[in-house]
Copies of this chain bind each other. A is one copy, B any other.
Amino acid sequence: MVSGENMTDSISQLQRTLCRRQIDVLLVSQPENRRYLSGFTALDHSISESSGVLLIPKKGRSLLLTDFRYQLQAEEEAGGNCDILIYQRGLLPLLKTILGKMSVANLAFEADYFLHAKYLLLTKLAQSLRIQLTPLDGQIEHLRLMKSDEELALIRRSVALNETVFSRIYQTIKPGQTEIEVALALESAMRLLGAERPSFDTIVAGGPNAALPHAVPSHRPLALGEPIVIDMGLILAGYCSDMTRTIVLGTPDEHTVSLFRLVRQAQCAGLAALRPGVTGREVDAAAREVIKKAGYGACFGHSLGHGVGLAVHEAPSLSCRNRKLLRPGMVVTVEPGVYVKGWGGIRLENMAVLTEQGCEVLNRDTTFLDL
């Protein structure tokens, strides 16, 4: 988590935006945004089961609204940053009382992380209090786009721990182990070494399973010579890492080596294009072009990369749909892949931070990158 000072800065910036847009209070429901501005680390089991919301007034101290189950955690983690209120019968009744007391005229909410059914209920509440509702998206995500030095240091630690986990377990992988066994070994090591949790479900996919970009580890035993995609990340002090290696037990055949080199070449082309002032679309195209030219364009069906921070998938995306300019301080993945049904797949993923001139790759691990 970022320190109190960074948090105060972010809240001040946000409050200036609220004042400018004549919004009295912003209701923050998105879990990473909530954490970013309060320090409260609870997760939502799902969007329908929120562990709380944050109210940011245009002036003054924030309020964190949560329920009994999270009371002690909220007091401990966020008590220094905001006032904590507990709702007994759901959020809306408490919200009604508070908004009434605060004499709010204009309430903004995150339409990007607010269920439409809940919006209909919120609308009724707002009408009864004569409050205007304003959808306000991307303001906090915008603050989160450019990482502070402190955040970048945390991301570096997360990346380094992820690599430590990978290299320890990599040495122990043997033919005959199942994908699930390797995935469990990785996830256990993450947590025993201090990670809060994996940043997403670890992927270990061998042979034909590696043709599924989002494969789920199975009981299939790993075999000599086949490509094995390992996509893994963890959360440390709130910040995510994300790395993919494709490994081979024993000696890869020529076909595997040639596809591996192709994907690595595409990754290098992407990293070479990654600098401030270009769009996500252009970086995606630089890497994709390499794979297309080799005749494998149809085998690379996902985008090149995504931002990483408090969330493992956040802005900016490196995809044909992102026409916005990249800026220094952004952190992204660069992860081209080639997937061939029935055979398998190769994906390589590193993280990089944009600098003033270009980018710096955050990964040190070179397993198989020199193949």
Contact = CB atoms under 8 A, between A and B. Distances in A.
A132 interface: no
A142 to B, nearest CB: 15
Contacts of A71: 301
Q: Indicate the member of A46, A112, A183 with the most B CB atoms within 10 Å.
A: A46
A236 to B, nearest CB: 13
9 contacts: A45-B200, A47-B113, A51-B214, A69-B301, A90-B321, A114-B117, A116-B116, A117-B135, A194-B219
Interface string A307-325: 0000001000000110000
Interface in A175-232: 180-181, 183-184, 187-188, 191-192, 194, 196-197, 200-201, 211-214, 216, 219
Contacts of A19: none
A49 interface: yes
B112 A48 contact: yes
Given A112-B48, A112-B117, A321 B135 contact: no
Interface of A: 42-43, 45-49, 51, 67-73, 88-90, 111-120, 135, 137, 180-181, 183-184, 187-188, 191-192, 194, 196-197, 200-201, 211-214, 216, 219, 301-302, 313, 320-321, 341
Contacts of A341: 72
Contacts of A213: 68-69
Given A48-B112, A116-B116, A211 B90 contact: no
Contact of A89 (B49, B200, B212, B321): B321
B117 A115 contact: no
A73 B212 contact: yes
Given A69-B301, A70-B214, 8 more contacts: A46-B313, A47-B47, A51-B214, A68-B302, A72-B212, A113-B115, A117-B137, A184-B191
Contact of A111 (B120, B212, B219): B120
Contacts of A192: 180-181, 184
Contacts of A49: 313
Contacts of A313: 45-46, 49
Contacts of A117: 111-112, 114, 135, 137
Q: Indicate the member of A90, A113, A116, A191 with the most B CB atoms within 10 Å.
A: A116
A194 B90 CA distance: 37
A333 to B, nearest CB: 14
A313 B46 CA distance: 10
Q: Indicate the member of A42, A72, A213, A219 with the most B CB atoms within 10 Å.
A: A72
A49 B43 CA distance: 17
Contacts of A88: 301
Contacts of A113: 47-48, 115
Q: Which 7 A-B pairs have the closest CB atoms?
A: A68-B301, A111-B117, A69-B213, A116-B119, A111-B116, A112-B117, A69-B214
Nearest to A180: B191
A191 to B, nearest CB: 5
Nearest to A181: B192
Contacts of A47: 46-47, 113
